[in-house]
Amino acid sequence: DANGNLLQLVRGQVMGWDARNQLQHITTVQREDGSNDDERYVY
């Protein structure tokens, strides 16, 4: 992104960042039916 944060760790593993550039979530497995495996982080 514009702040230099990675948007994907590997193909299909989307990473989401907050305004303080802290990792908020990562999608470890993305499925077409919508039941993705996500990890969420709280600091």
The closest of 26, 33, 25, 2 to 12, measured between CA atoms, is 26
How confident is the model at residue 12, as a pLDDT? 80
For 16, phi and psi rounded to 5 degrees?
A: -120, 135
Burial 7-16 (b: 16+ CB within 10 A, else e): eeeeeebebe
- DSSP string for 1-43: -TTS--SBSSTT-BEEE-TTS-EEEEEEE--TTS--EEEE---
How confident is the model at residue 21, as a pLDDT? 97
pLDDT confidence tier of residue 15, bands split at 50, 70 and 90:
very high
Q: Is the whole model's pTM more than 0.85, yes or no?
A: no
